[in-house]
Amino acid sequence: MRHPLSRSAVVVLVATSTACVGEMPPPPQITVTSPERGLVQGHAGQVVVKGVASPGVSGSPVTSVTVNRVPAMLAADGSFTAVVDVPPGAMLLETSAFSAEGGSVTDARAVQVGELRPVGTTIERAATAALSTDAFARLSAVAGPKVKSMDLMAKLAPLQPMANLGDDLANVKVSITKLTFGDVKISLAPVDGGLEFSATIDALNVAANAAYGGALVPDGTSSVGVTADRVTLAGTLVVTPAGTDGFSTAIASPTVRATSLRLQASGLAGKILDLLQDNLESTVQRVLTSSAEKALQPLINSAFGALAGPKRIDVLGKTLELQASPSAVQFTRTGALVTMNLGVKIAGSESSPGFVFTPNGTPSIDMNTGVQVGLADDLINELLAEVHALGLLDLHLEEDFGLFDTADIKLTVPPMVSANNSDGTMRLVLGDMIATFSEEGKTVISAALNAQVDLALLRGNTPEQIALKFGKVHAFVNVLDDETGMLGSDLSGAAAAGIGIQLDSLSQFLVTVPVPSVAGVTLDNLSLRADSGYVIASGSVH
């Protein structure tokens, strides 16, 4: 993919394989012969690192070699061997040689550990979220205006007629034709098994069509109406997973209290009027309960991050399809905990050999304060494998870099996020990118680029959204073939530019991953941590 040079992402080159910085002693030389670059290992365990270290231009002997700070066995001929532990996930093997006069050199290469699975695979328990009582209080504050703006008649259409009263002798079917009301105030509070729900509705006005008939009543129709100054509906909102439709909502044990409830039915008399009068309160309860259940379903889906069917998004000219299906939801008096299965697929990524899946544990999620969201790193890594398969991160850069005017960067393995780090940090590993630098079409140098990128949590495009952001980049450059004798440090500008462009592209895909959000809730004191294979984002409710 051809790109103009971009520096919108800040990349810090913190280590190179051959650079001399200031008055630092010249580095020794190092060649790692095993493992190969871009190693994908199917199981956690150990990796044997082998190679040869030798004096550099100063002739200072090599005194020690380490691999990720683990001392290697160094033989007299400079050959070395080290055995290092490799946990599930992605990591860099940093093999460093040190000379007697203080020079050092580092070879970096990537290792990915886990089971290879096909892209498009649904990730079970891919997302988990905890919402506190404070979060539901904020949701309650915005629920009333949202319900008032909904087209409830369209939602009620499949339920018509709303009432079917009477028997073969005299019966009437009531279908709602218009439903209006004034202010609506809604309260949602978590309790054991659901949400304690109440809605206060002012100026209720219902218009309906009554179709009547029976053995003792001639067939006919008439317009009727119901009004009330105020109606209060209360009950327990039961929320259950409904597959790819998100969540279903039902109000258990509903009760209705109405002030000045009135029936306008001037065209009716006798048994039909009696049927309507006798069943007025139960009919109003049925209409309001059904309306509330239909109105609250999209609010709950939004609050818990469900998509209610496939969602297709255009990103960088590619169609990304997300599919969410809730797997469990739990309510207590301290809050709610929801778990979802998620699948992600980018059109055209079928050629991918797969993504590295790592087993996840059960993250620690606190329902007591604010909102916490956990995303399995497998979901992000599946997306990254698809981006890699499409070649969207392979770059062709053209600019005057001094000794060369063109840089081509190709990823040998997909980028990978690891959320299993023992220190609770999150990082993205860009492993073993092969960069070729040319001048007027002739290759002058090639190098392997590796980078570890810190992840941070910032506000999204709106105050209600959160987004993963890339932080400091720790990059390594290892020269593979050099016809110029130039130093690896001279490649830092082009390497930083290439990695910056890749992160710009990745950020546009990562922000499309669905995360639960609560309408009307602004999160402060944002934090990010890794826990049992999950990216855990936390924030306090504002």
Q: Is residue 265 part of a domain?
A: yes
Residue 494 has a pLDDT of: 77
Instruction: Give me the pLDDT at residue 3, please.
Output: 46
Do residues 526 and 473 touch, judged by C-beta distance below 8 A? no
Q: Give the mean pLDDT of 301-313.
A: 68
Q: Is 241 helix (H, G, I), strand (E, B) or coil?
A: strand
Q: 317 and 203, same structural domain?
A: no
Same domain, 287 and 391: no
pLDDT digits 0-9 by tens, 424-470: 667 899 999 998 988 888 888 899 999 998 877 665 555 555 566 78
Between 517 and 190, the more confident residue is: 190
Per-residue model confidence (pLDDT) at position 302: 77
φ, ψ of residue 205 to 5 degrees: the values are -140, 115
Read off the pLDDT of residues 102-159 as tens digits, 9 standing for 90 and up.
999 999 999 999 999 999 999 999 888 888 898 888 889 888 888 888 899 999 999 9
H helices of 167-312, where? 270-278, 280-304
Residue 525 has pLDDT above 90, yes or no: no
Last residue of a domain, one of 272, 303, 334: 303
Report the CATH number that the domain containing residue 464 is assigned in CATH. Answer: 3.15.20.10
pLDDT of residue 222: 93
**67-81, 110-124, 183-197, 352-366: least confident range:** 352-366
Task: Give the range of the structural domain holding residue 121, as residue numbers without chain letter.
Answer: 117-133+306-541
Nearest to 1 by CA among 354, 397, 287: 397
For residues 340 and 480, state if they share a domain. yes
d(CA 13, CA 264): 78
- Count of Cβ atoms closer than 10 Å to residue 282 Cβ: 12
Closest CA to 151 of 186, 179, 117, 114: 179
If one compares 472 and 84, the residue with the highest pLDDT of the two is 84
232 and 341 housed in the same domain: no
> Is 329 a residue whose pLDDT tops 60?
yes
50 part of a folded domain: yes
pTM: 0.80
**1 lies in a domain?**
no
pLDDT of residue 536: 81
8 falls within a domain: no
- The CATH code of the domain that includes 169 is 3.15.10
Residue 310: what pLDDT?
64
Coil/strand/helix, residue 262? strand
Q: What per-residue confidence (pLDDT) applies to 490?
A: 62
Same domain as 408, residue 330: yes
CATH number, residue 34 = 2.60.40.650
What is the Cα–Cα distance from 530 to 150, expressed in whole angstroms? 39
pLDDT, tens only, 21-43: 456 789 999 999 999 999 999 99
- Please indicate, yes or no, whether residues 230 and 319 belong to a single structural domain of this protein: no
Choosing from 262, 277, 303, the residue where a domain stops is 303
- How far CA 315 is from CA of 319, 509, 542, in Å, comes to 6, 7, 31
